[in-house]
Amino acid sequence: MNVLVCGGAGYIGSHMARWLAAHDIGVTVLDNLSTGHREAVKWGELVEADLLDQASLERAFSGRRFDAVMHFCARSLVGESVAQPYDYYANNVTGTLNLLEAMRRHGVDRLVFSSTAAVFGNPVSALIDEAHPKAPINPYGASKLMVERILADAAGAYGLRSVALRYFNAAGASHAAGIGESHEPETHLIPNVLRAALGTGPGLKVFGDDYPTPDGTCVRDYVHVEDLAQAHHRALDHMEAHAGAHVFNLGNGTGFSVREVIAAASEVTGREIPFEIAPRRAGDPAVLVASSDKARRELGWTPVHTSLAPILDSAWRWHQQQPY
């Protein structure tokens, strides 16, 4: 099997490329390197292309055979999406349409799509399953939900087989392989907490302490990036046996507040982690925690990293290796 990993120079995409290569699956990485890192492409050929440039996409597909595509390319910052909605709809929706059209021209009929918990908006139940109402409260989530609808329509019209995986909060690293979470600017909590422990980067800010949660800070469900890679591999197997468009939520089913993450990171690192309270960010729900029962049942997916400490420890080991 040969898989095209779009966005394979990024955080989750590079872990996916590593996972596929370790399971004897051929890997080609497509990335425009706008946010990805050339040095993270250690498995498979790198093809520099942009989903908004149809000519570069055509060159990427020409002369190569792919059995499936994994699609990680996206603009993914909630606050930025509120401020720059046109950019998000262009990159996340138009870019995906361009990719789907290239796949159809070249006879590739299987796609694993990187979706998000942001499609749900503010939760109306303690655990969010696939049937939970979809009411995104920011353009990022809305753009991903639009793609999910496109995939459902493409299944009926063109026979496209797809699996959309809605991550909650990806975290952790494969420190032994030299890959981890690195964005510029960095907006995700765990890497910013660990950089604060190292004394690098800007001071740590906690965005809002007046949410309706036990300690006033946002609650999130963290899932290790290697567990996400395992789920994508199982999605490939699922598409072999099942036609149509399918969606699965991926999380650990346990929520941790921002303050709890900071406290746990302090235990893992053995360091005090200074922070300051800042205003809420636009578009942030108070609580997002997944029910992954469907993924466990239908994909046979079982996360290996089920508590916060080992997720933080793997990320901490990677951050300590970085030349900040």
Nearest to 316 by CA among 266, 280, 254: 266
Q: In the structure encoding, which two tokens stand for residue 297, read together?
A: 């049942």
At 165, the amino acid letter reads: L
Nearest to 55 by CA among 4, 110, 101, 86: 101
Cα–Cα distance for residue pair 38/110, rounded to 1 Å? 26
Catalytic residue among 89, 140, 167, 222: 140
Q: Name, in order, each residue with C-beta under 8 angstroms of 99's C-beta and a sequence gap of 6 or more.
A: 6, 51, 57, 69, 71, 73
Nearest to 232 by CA among 313, 115, 60: 115
Q: In the structure encoding, which two tokens stand for residue 223, read together?
A: 């899932």
At 283, the amino acid letter reads: G
Judged by phi (left if over 0) then psi (alpha if -120 to 50, else beta), residue 47 lies in beta
- The verdict on whether 140 is a catalytic residue reads yes
C-alpha dihedral (269, 274, 279, 280), degrees to nearest 10: 10
Would you name the residues annotated as active-site residues? Answer: 140
